[in-house]
Amino acid sequence: RLREGRALAQDVWSIFNAANLPPTCINLGQGYMNFAPPDWVKEAATEALGSVAANHYSHPKGRIRLRNAIKQFYGPKFDRDLDVESEILVTSGANEGQYAVFTAFLEEGDEVIMFEPYFDQYLPSVTFNGGRPVFVPLHPAQNTAGKASSNDWSIDFEQLRRAITPKTKMIMVNTPHNPVGKVFTRQELEGIAALAEEFNLLVMADEVYDCLVFDDKEHIRIATLPGMWDRTVTVMSAGKAFACTGWRVGYLIGPPSIIFPTLAATTRIVFCSNSPLQEAAAAGLEQAVERKFFETQTAEYAERREILCEAFDALGLTYYVPDGTYFVLLDISGVQWPEDYQFPSSLDGRGRDFRAAWFIAETVGVSTIPVSEFYSAEHAVIGERFIRFAFCKDADTLRTAAERIKDLK
Ligand code: GLN
């Protein structure tokens, strides 16, 4: 059986990889920066490479310097004196951290609830571990025209309750949310927490964009709501925090009852994470507060967001101003292309948004990500209305992209 390997559909990131698109295309697709991590973080990486110990396996829990830095930085945010031995786990990026939690907790047929759109990696991470994803769509506001808010995407709590069955083990809560940019409100998180308590569910809080929340919005950690610490594991990412997405350094914070089984799983999946770059991530967290690094970085991202949003305003298409993350959703239902336009076979069987994103990349010169990829087949029609722009690029690049986007008209 399976001598030819599993027939997994090609993922959206490799379809829309720069290598497949015209070389002059500006990449606002996959979310990674076109600028380097801060110098003081890079210098810590270089320094770590000069130390013998940091070139070798770290403890599977993570290097102690990084665990201490996480405790110091995140302790106040979780309102806890975090124990570096039992409540913090370093992982090979947030993805691997999530995967290890599923490996540790899912039994065949266990159900995991995820809001749609969901970050696409959740799906295989659940199914590879024998779990069954259950989808609950967020609802974009009806009849919006022009500028709308990411917060207009709302949860239908009755629908969420109906999705819970005796097999439900876990619910994923991604805030700030990729790709919507929504920052879940306290009321929403309290509603989810109440259901988690009532049905005794685990919660995976994917907070990898916790360092990117705009304006007066407050990032609330579901783990800090009453009664939630014991059932919640929170996932974070050095890649997003310090512009080093390829380093693959992430971390989990949670109670020992979740961290220890996950440690056992991650030890068997990767044994430990990349050692020298853990030292650099530690330097990042150690110095971030004094340097006011995240305040400055958020202000820079707010400017980048503005450049893109102005271009959308000029277009008059509906889009959702994100309260967090570096993504914006644009409604492309009105974008048309010639009937005989030639698309590559990699788009066969995919939604209208795939064709819109391809057409825009080739004719306007800006690549994006089609949003139906973040939906189950059942609700993909909602996602087909949107493409996602990433604004984790320097301001000049975004200005050039913004000029090009105006040609969409
Ligand atoms: N999280 C990033 C994004 O959404 C990268 C995704 C990936 O590389 N799989 O763009």
Alpha-carbon distances, residue 347 vs 15, 16, 50, 153, 387 (angstroms): 8, 10, 47, 28, 15
In a domain, 185, yes or no: yes
Residues 142 and 260 in one domain: yes
Asked if pLDDT for residue 24 goes beyond 70, the answer is yes
CA of 368 to the centre of ligand 1 (A): 12
Q: Using CA atoms, how far apart are residues 223 and 194, in angstroms rounded to an integer? A: 12
Question: For the chain, how many structural domains are there in total?
Answer: 2
* Number of Cβ within a 10 Å radius of residue 224: 16
Contact 323, 180 (CB under 8 A): no
Name the nearest CA neighbour of 241 among 194, 157, 181, 298: 298
Residues 24 and 45 in one domain: no
Please give the ipTM for the structure prediction: 0.94
In a domain, 2, yes or no: no
Which of residues 288, 312, 329 is at a domain's end? 288
For residue 137, the domain's CATH number is: 3.40.640.10
Q: What is the pLDDT of residue 15?
A: 95
Asked if pLDDT for residue 141 goes beyond 90, the answer is no
CA angle in degrees (0–180, nearest 5) for 261-267-273: 120
% of the chain exceeding 90 in pLDDT = 94
Residues 58 and 201 in one domain: yes
Ligand 1 test: best mutation among 13, 122, 367, most atoms within 8 Å of CB? 13
Q: Average pLDDT of the chain?
A: 96
Q: What is the pLDDT of residue 1?
A: 67
CA of 227 to the centre of ligand 1 (A): 32
214 or 409, which is more confident: 214
Ligand 1 test: best mutation among 14, 30, 32, most atoms within 8 Å of CB? 30
Domain that holds residue 312: 12-37+293-408
Q: Which atom of ligand 1 approaches the CA of 240 most closely? A: 1
Which of residues 288, 312, 333 is at a domain's end? 288
Which residues touch 33 (CB under 8 Å, ≥6 apart)?
A: 243, 245, 392, 393
Residues 163 and 281 in one domain: yes
Residues 78-84, mean pLDDT to the nearest whole number: 98
Residues 152 and 232 in one domain: yes
Q: What is the DSSP string of 9-76?
A: PPPHHHHT-GGGS-TT-EE-SS---SSPPPHHHHHHHHHHHTSSGGGSPPPTT--HHHHHHHHHHHHH
Answer yes or no: is the C-beta of 178 below 6 A from any ligand 1 atom: yes
Least confident residue range of 156-160, 190-194, 201-205, 312-316: 312-316
Q: What is the pLDDT of residue 153?
A: 96
The protein residue with its alpha carbon nearest to ligand 1, atom 4, reads: 31
Residues 299 and 278 in one domain: no
Q: What is the pLDDT of residue 222?
A: 98
